[in-house]
Structures are given as C-alpha cells and as structure tokens.
Structure 1
C-alpha cells in the first residue's frame, strides 16, 4: 500500500478559508450588502400580505402592486448578490488552485514516488472538482441563507416576539442533530476520499502494468486488489450515507413543526386578542419563509463538509517537509562525489556504502543487473533523493544544501518517463528557457529529430508523438537546459538500437566537455565511456575503463561477452 500524503487539521482549514476570503474585503462587503438588501426587500411582501388579509377591501390594487414590485426588486437584488458571491468564490478558488499547483511542484520527488500516483491524482482531480462545487454553489448559498435567515428572524421578532417561541422550540433538535452529524461527517468524507485514492492508485497501476500483469499471470491478484479497494470505497460511502439518513429526518421535522406551531399559537393569541390577524399572517409567512434559508444552510453544510475534507487534503500537500535545506553556499567546482552513501526503500537499504568520485567532463557508464541499484544511485547523483547516510556533493557542497532551481541549472536527469504537454512543439521546447527558433532547431538537430515541425500541436488532442520521439524531445530540452552534469537513466531505451546509436553519436558533440553519468542496458554506451561502474547488490563491484574491466574477466567481462554475442 502506498504512503499517503498528509491531511490538514480542522483549524488549518478554517484559518486558510478565513484568510482566503478576507483577502478581498471589498468583494465580500459588496456580496454581503446585496444579500442584505435582497433579504430586506423579501420581508416586505409578508407584511403586505398581512395588511391585505386583515383589510381585504382596502387599497387592494396598491398592495398588490407593491407586492409585485418588491418581488421583482428582490429577484433583481438576489441575482446581483449571487453573481457577486460567485465572483468572490471564483477569485478565491483561482488563488487556491495556483497555490496548490505551486505546492505540488515543490513536492520532493521521493515523496511523490512513495505516495504513488493514486493519492496525488485524486487530490488534483476529484478533490479540486468537489471543492470547486463547494466554492461555486455551497458557499454563496450559505452566505445567502445566513443573511436572509438573520433578517427574517429580526422581522419575525418585530412583528410579534411571542411568535418567536415556536421557532425556538426546534432549535435544540436542529442544534444537537447537526452537531452530531458535523462531528462525524469530516472523518467520514476523509475516509471516502482516501478509499477513492487507493482505488485510483490500484487501477492506475493495473492499467500501466497490464502487460507485466499478463506476462506474470497475476490477473487474479489484481482482480482481488481491485475488489478489495471497491469494497472499502463502498463501505466508506455507505457510512457517510448512513450519517445523512439519520440527520436529514430531524431537519425535515425542524422545518414543519415551526409553521404548524406558529399557526396554532398565533390562532390562540388572535382569539384572546393578543395579536391581530395581520400579525399572525405575517408571522406565519415569515416562519414559512425562514424554512427555506434554514434548509439551504443546513443541507449546504453537508456540501461544505465535503468541500472542507477536499480542502484539508489539498492543504495537506503543503505540510510535506522539504527534503533539502539550502545553506546558501555556492559550489566551488563542478566535480560530483559520493561518500559512503546508503539509501533505503521501505526501511531496507538498496545501496550499501557506495563511494564514487567524478572528474569534470568525465563520462561514466553505470551497468549491472536489474534491481541492483543503478537508477537509485543515478538519482542520488542527480540530487533527486537525499542519502539516508553519507553525502553526495557538488564542488564539496551537499546537493541537498542547494536550492532546487540552482541544482537543476547545474545537474539534470533524463529518464525513460517523459511528458509531452499539450501545445506546439515550440512551446514544449521553450519550457526550458525562452529561445529563438534557430536555437530550438539546433537542439532538435542535435538529437536527430525527424518528427513534426515547431508549429505542430502535440500532446493530448494534438499529434501523438511516438515513445522514441518523446525521448528525443526530452533530450532536446536537455540540450537547451545546458547543465554541466547530465544523468541519463536509460534515456534512449525506447529508441531502436541502431537509431539510438546514431542519436548517441549526434549527442556526442553536444555532450563534449560535460560530465555525463549514463545508466545503460546497451553496453556500447559503456564501451564509449571514460569509466564503467558495475553495480551489484547495492555496491560498486568493479570500476575502471572498458578495456580494464574486460581484461579482469569479472562481472563486466561476462556481461560484455553475453551482450556482444547476441
């Protein structure tokens, strides 16, 4: 099971939501003011109806016209108030999305790998969508309900303080049932989101590794994993539904009882001469009118709980600690060294005290059997991961002491995994740095590019690049980035062997003078390197030139003989 990313606390969520809204005081004041005016105009109609009922023949045309006028005014103000709330919500949501993207891009790669794709994917899709619904719909409606409800209660009290009693009768019921629900809803929705993320992670792994699953005949195991994830997701959603089924009936009772009680008490007070017919009519209409904002408020609280759970998961990303502490010290040189480094996955070391020194401009090939720790060593040398013990330094400064932006300008990693963004080929290349078309074409020429032109739209919805072309694009970006040290983790593995050989020859001139660490499964890369490091069982078992290692008749010589004979 993947390691889950953190979730923000209730206090952090409330504090962030409060700060986010208060960033726009003018928009907030405008929305509240419009909602207040709409609520006030809505209170005039019940008062006019009371006058009409008490004196049915007096100024009927004037009263009817007044009712129609205030209904139109209320509708217009409500429309403007809703738009003002929606604009405020969209601003807040846009800022939250930008901050979330910034936090995601700052996540340590090691954390993302441990968490798996499912949790992060669920947060960037499902949680963002649910929060968007809360901000766009629930938040404005809660604001409308609060303002309308407040003014309605005030109007009811001014009409007849005695008729506030029926409303107060249901307050304990609504308060206690809502409190009971809210105490459980957040955790229920967090469990629901976590179960969804786990299910997404399992499905993504199954789809991505479908060929491997088939080759190893593990279909039954993946079916069982999927069934277990779906069962947990169903149980989580069933529990949250159970909470709502207990809470909603108490709300329905709370809406009906005040209206009935107001009519009953109002009738008794009218019979005994304590209230006029106009007061009873207006009060009953106010209580009935109060049920709508109350219903809106309480039911949208559920949507806010859902949005709050999503916000807690989004804010939790910012709680991930950084894996580096920049010291501000500048490297004195470009040489990279590893001193007795150890690294562990799931508390099990995969590197056991590896030491390695690279001279500026040297080309080092790292070879070895699958699972020996080659890629892990390459990631340590690129500064992607920090070692559990030991240190990896650049010019005697630990890589984890360098700000990530500075590090990436000096050391770059290219793996087998590449992303093609939707946009023109020019846009995809210019992600590295703004460049002229001549520079972009030169970078493409350096990697023997044979794909579409700079103006062609690629990525999702555009021209689909082959895996080989995606790797060439990644290498062209590397040419434009111009770092002094490159870590190539089987960067030409998806290209035809003959084409890969031609590409590596073309890159030779570009890589001249740079330190190159090539993790390769094609041994011609090792043949052309200055030195070869053989990694076995988390240790460098052999280190030397190609000719030296062949002459030793050790592990490398056996690999070379086997590969050369195929």
Structure 2
C-alpha cells in the first residue's frame, strides 16, 4: 500500500453502512416518516379546498346560491387555515425528531472513524498519507455529519411531500396526473445524467483535497528543514500544483451543477403549463376547480423537488466522503488471535526474514533469543535493520518467513490487550494531547492514583511536572522535545509491561538527561526485559548483552567487554563513538 492507496468503500458497502446506521434508529426514522406524511397530507388540503371554493363560487348563479357559497367559502377557508397550522406543527416536530436522529448518527460516524483509525495497523498508518487521514477525519467526517444532521430531515420531508402530491394529483384526475408526471421526465433525465458522473467527480475532489492537505501539513511540519535547506520555492511550487489540482477537481463538480440546475428549473414550468393546456382542452370533462387544484399541486411539487435537488450536490459530496470514511474498514480486518497463552516471557526470533511492500528483504535470517529480565542493546549503523527488528519484536509487523514468539506463541497473534501486557514499543516519535498532565498519563493506566502518576514522572526525571492539573499541548503549555519524551516514558512506567522496546526513545534528550532517564527507567523496570535500540553506545555499555546488526542480520552478540575485546564491528563503533565524544 502506498500513500495514494488508502481504500475507498464501494457503493454497496456505503449503502450497507448507511443501512446499519439507519437500522439503529428505526423508531426515530419511522416517526419522522409518519410525521412528514401527515404534514404532507395536511398541506395538500389547501389546494384541494381552494378548488372546491372556486367551484362553489362559479356555480352560484342566484342570490340564494351566492349566500350559501359565502358560508361555504368561510368554512373551507377556516379548514385551510387549520390544516396549514397543523402541517406547520407536524413539520416542526418531524424536524426536531430528525435533527436528534442526525446528531446521534453523526456521533456514531465520528466514533467509528476514531475507533477504526486507532485500530489501523501501525504499518498502514506510517505508509498512509498524513494529509489523507487528516482530510478524512476532518472534512469528510464533517460532511457526513452535516448531511445527517441537516440534509436528512429536509430530504425525507421533501420526498414524502413529493410522493403524496403526485398521488393526490393522480387521484384528483388521472389524465391531469399522468400529464404532470410525464412532464417531469426532463427533471428525471437531468438528474440521472448528473448522478452517473457525480460520484467519480466528488471522489476525485476529495482526493485532491487530501493531496493539498498533505502538502500543507508536510510544509508546516518541516518548516525548519525547508528553511535550513532553502526549499521554500520548491515547497511553494508543490503547494501551487496541489491547489491547481484541487481547483480543477472543484470546477469539474461545478460544471456538472451548471447543467443540472437550469434543466431542472425549466422542468418545473412544463408540468403546470401542460396541466393548464390539457385542462383547458378538456374543460367539458374537468371542473375548473379540479384544473386549478391540479395546477397548484404541481406548482407545489416544485418546492420539495427544489429542496431535494438543492441537496443533491451535498448528498453526492457527502456520499463520496462517506465512501472515504468507510474505506478505513478495509484496513481494520480482525487480526489472527492466538488462543494459547505464552508459557513464559522468553522472546525468540528464529530465522526471520522481512520485506517492506513485498520488496527486497531488509532482514536476512535473524536469530535472537531475549531472556526474561535481560537488558539487551541492539546497535548498528543506520539502515542495519534495528528498528525493523524492534517492530517485529513488538508485534507491529509479521515476519515474511520465520517466527517471533513470546513463550512459544507468535507475538503478532496475541490479543491487543494481552500483547501490551507483554511488550510496549517506545519510539522517538511522541504525542502530547491537549489535556492536563494527569489526563496524558491516565491514558496508560486509567485507575492510577496521583501518587502513582507523580512517582512515574519522578522515575523518568520529569521534575518540571509538579502540578498534575497543568494543561499541556495545543495552545496551552508547550513542552519541548525532552519534556514531551519524558511524558511518553512516564506512560511506559505506568503501563508496566513485561518487555519494553526503546527505539531511540531518548533521542530528543540531551546526553546527561537521556542517561538519567534510561537509568531511572531501568531501575523502575528491574526484573523486566528491556530492549534498547540506540546509536548512543553508552546504552550498550550499561546493558547485560549487546546484539550488533549489520546488513539486516545479527553479526555479533555478547557483553560490552566481550565485543570490545573481540575487535569486530562493535569495537570499531565503540572506538568511533568514544573518540567523537
């Protein structure tokens, strides 16, 4: 998978997901449909009674009939006012129920997206475009939520109204009803033309937005690198290209609307004109009131159809957004789970080979055993395969061939909660949530007391974090790299796993602070297994054993003194590092 290959859900998958969401709110949807139906029926009474009023007035030829007609008009007008008020109240209550349904469903969409994002395999997250994930989690989720909250009530109400109006016209006069329906063929044809092209256009627009978000995110994140290497013009050019691509995609969807809307507007006039012409031609078989009522009904039909067509763009846009949001489900397939429990805490790597994206192997027949409670340092030049081995040891990735087991059970097959009781991987990448220090730490151990939180901070030398209620991250207190990494290490202390893999975990700390943090962490994890992957060879000096990697294989293994005495790769690394100090 590459950054351009985050999956997009197919049409059937999107419909199934929508059906699942609606199915969880069946009662609310039924109430909305019922209320909208009653409101539509109440709204149809007015034109029909207006037709009866016209018939009553045109049929009154003498004073007595005119006097009776006045009473009829008064009564029918009162009924029209009553039914109009009833329609308004029913519509208002239907919207209230629909908005509540939309808010609950939108919340579920957001929660499912967050759950799926957190459940993504680490490899998928690392290879995916940050901009794409960001766009899906912000713009796309917001589009779906907006549609569920605002468009759904309007569309449901309008569709029910349109259906009731069409049925009413047909029942009023089948000939006039058929004329009106046939006259709507233009709107139907324009809508079909639009819908055949809209999904692909809106998916392309969403992809273009993701590319733009990725370019902006990469430029902002690497601002210092851009400045240091004088890459400003190159980044500006890349941004301009992304903006141009986004503009082209947006203009494509705009062009589709410029065809749809005029065609539909013209289609509204044709049914009314057709009914009046047919009604006039067949006046001898249709009462004037019936013709007027049918014309008013069809004119009334323009309002709900206008609403539906107004939301067509949003529905297509949100449909494409929903497809992108649901696409993450394809990356969160349940992983194999081992039923067996590890017999002990021994980690064994046996003849492991591994390749990224089905390319060439970066690990070649690695064999390594990590004893419980051992402090193992893995060292080697950049590109030797240290971090890749760390990911396999943590169960993040699976070996192409060979096995990585703990207590005889494949690490990658352990249940997530059981895996984290065994192994935790701590890298030089860290994140500080916009929350209090307490909130940032409770992520690792929700039931921890304040005393335990303070002890964890003290264990990693975070003397600056005296007040647990201090808000950090975002626009609050900004932590420097060393402080943020200490906070991450404190989470490890609280999680208290059996094995901790430190992949350059103290790289952001100055040498003195890093050494203090490593010693403090080792003291807290006394009796646990610590695997440290580091370029700073002082870590190897303090370890029980050192494994040296070169070219994707373990080439040396032993204590610091043994390897220095052997005069091999490690000895050369030690001399070089010691001299550089």
Question: Is the pair's TM-score, using the shorter chain for normalization, greater than 0.5?
Answer: yes
2:143 touches 2:318 (CA, 8 Å); kept in 1?
Answer: yes
Q: Are residue 280 (structure 1) and residue 291 (structure 2) matched?
A: yes
Question: What displacement does 1:149 show?
Answer: 0.8
Matched, 1:182 2:183: no
Report what 1:4 is aligned to. 5
Aligned residue runs from structure 1 range 19-168, under 5 A: 19-55=20-56, 58-59=70-71, 60-168=73-181
State which of 461, 472, 482 in structure 2 corresponds to 1:468. Answer: 482
Contact 2:131/2:213 (CA < 8 Å) preserved in 1? yes
Is 220-229 or 255-264 further displaced after alignment? Answer: 220-229
- Does residue 448 (structure 1) correspond to residue 467 (structure 2)? The answer is no
Helix, strand or coil: the match of 1:329?
A: coil
Q: Which has the higher mean CA deviation after the structures are superposed, 31-40 or 154-163?
A: 154-163
Describe the shift of the 1:241–1:348 C-alpha distance in structure 2 as closer, same or farther (beyond 3 A).
Answer: farther
Task: Give the SS at the match of 1:428.
Answer: helix
Structure 2, unaligned stretches of length 5 or more?
58-68
- The 1-side partners of 2:508 and 2:332 are apart by 35
Instruction: State the match for 2:269 in structure 1.
Output: 256
> 1:186-201 alignment to 2 at 5 Å?
186-201=199-214
Describe the SS at the equivalent of 2:462.
coil
Q: 1:501 to 1:216 in 2, by over 3 A?
A: same
* 1:420 and 2:432 are equivalent in the alignment: yes
Q: 1:432 aligns to what?
A: 444
Task: Give 2:418's match in structure 1, choosing from 402, 406, 413.
Answer: 406
Paired residues in the alignment total 564
Match of 2:524 in 1: 510
TM-score of the aligned structures, taking structure 1 as reference length: 0.94
Q: After TM superposition, give the deviation of residue 220 of structure 1 in Å.
A: 4.4
Distance 2:539 2:4 in 1: 36
| Residue in structure 1 matched with residue 372 of structure 2 by the alignment | 360
SS of alignment partner, residue 111 of structure 1: helix
Secondary structure of the residue that 1:58 maps to in structure 2? helix
Q: How far apart are the structure 2 equivalents of 1:82 and 1:255?
A: 26
Q: Report the 3-state secondary structure (helix = DSSP H, G, I; strand = E; otherwise coil) of the residue aligned with 1:444.
A: helix
The answer as to whether partners of 1:52 and 1:58 remain within 8 angstroms in 2 is: no
The superposition leaves residues 432-486 of structure 1 with CA deviations (integer Å, 9 ceiling, x where unpaired) of 2211222112111111222341122223243222221211111111111111100
| In the alignment, structure 1 residue 490 sits paired with structure 2 residue 504 | yes
**Shift, 1:323, TM fit:** 8.1
Q: Deviations over 1:191-231 (max 9, x none)?
A: 21122212222322222223334444444443443333333
Partner SS, residue 361 of structure 1 = coil
Check conservation: 2:116, 2:332, Cα contact below 8 A: no
Q: 1:349 to 1:233 in 2, by over 3 A?
A: farther
Q: C-alpha displacement at 1:372, in angstroms?
A: 2.6
Partner Cα separation in structure 1 for residue 569 and residue 4 of structure 2? 36
Question: Residues 209-267 of structure 1: CA distance to partner in whole angstroms, max 9, x if unpaired?
Answer: 23334444444443443333333322222222222222222211211211222222223
Deviations for 1:326-380, whole angstroms, at most 9, x for unmatched residues? 1211111111121222222342332222221111111111222223322121111
Which of 375, 379, 385 is matched with 1:373 structurally?
385
Q: Is the 8 A contact 2:340 2:409 kept in 1?
A: yes
1:74: how far off? 1.6
Partner of 2:63: none
Root mean square deviation, CA, Å: 2.0
User: Which of residues 306, 314, 318 is equivalent to 1:295?
Assistant: 306
Structure 1 residues 342 and 217, CA gap change in structure 2 (3 angstroms): farther
Q: CA deviation at 1:61?
A: 4.2
- Determine if contact 1:139/1:304 at 8 Å carries over to the other structure: no
Match of 2:352 among 341, 366, 374: 341
Out of 279, 285, 305, the residue aligned to residue 266 of structure 1 is: 279
Deviates most, 143-152 or 213-222: 213-222
Deviation at 1:189, TM superposition (A): 1.2
1:108–1:323 contact (8 Å) kept in structure 2: no
Aligned to 1:304: 315
Q: Distance in 1 between the 2:218 and 2:360 partners?
A: 23
Alpha-carbon distance between aligned partners in 1 of 2:217 and 2:397, rounded to the nearest angstrom? 24
Per-residue CA shift, 1:2-35, capped at 9, x if unaligned? 1422111111111221222122222122111110
For 2:547 and 2:532, locate their aligned partners in 1 and report how far apart those are by CA, in whole Å.
Answer: 10
In the other structure, the counterpart of 2:249 is: 236
**Aligned-pair CA distance for 1:55:** 4.3
Higher mean C-alpha displacement, 446-455 vs 212-221: 212-221
Would you say the 8 A contact 1:420–1:459 is kept in 2? yes
